[in-house]
Amino acid sequence: MKTLLFLALAVSPAVAEETRQVDAHEHGVGQLDIAFDDKQIAIELHAPGADIVGFEYAAESSEDRAAVDAAVAKLAVPLDLFVLPAVAKCSVVQASAALESEDAHEEDHSNHDKEHKDEHADHADHEKHEDESGHTEFHAEYLLTCAEPAAVSEIKFAYFDVFPNALELEVQVVSNTGANAFEVERDNPMLDLRGMF
| Sequence letter at residue 188 | N
Q: Is residue 112 involved in binding Zn ion (CB under 5 A)? A: no
Nearer to Zn ion, 30 or 48 (CB): 48
Report residue 43 CA to chain centroid gap. 10
Count Cβ atoms within 10 A of the Cβ of residue 123 and give its class: 0-12 exposed, 13-18 middle, 19 or more buried.
middle
Q: Is residue 135 involved in binding Zn ion (CB under 5 A)? A: yes
User: Looking only at residues 39 through 98 of this chain, which bind Zn ion when binding is defined by CB under 5 A?
Assistant: 48, 56
User: Least distance to Zn ion from the beta carbon of 31, Å?
Assistant: 13
Contact indicator for 137, 98 with CB cutoff of 8 Å: no
Q: Is residue 126 involved in binding Zn ion (CB under 5 A)? A: no
Nearer to Zn ion, 10 or 104 (CB): 104
d(CA 176, CA 99): 32
Q: Which residue is nearest to Zn ion (CB)?
A: 135
The contact set with Zn ion (CB under 5 A) reads 48, 56, 135
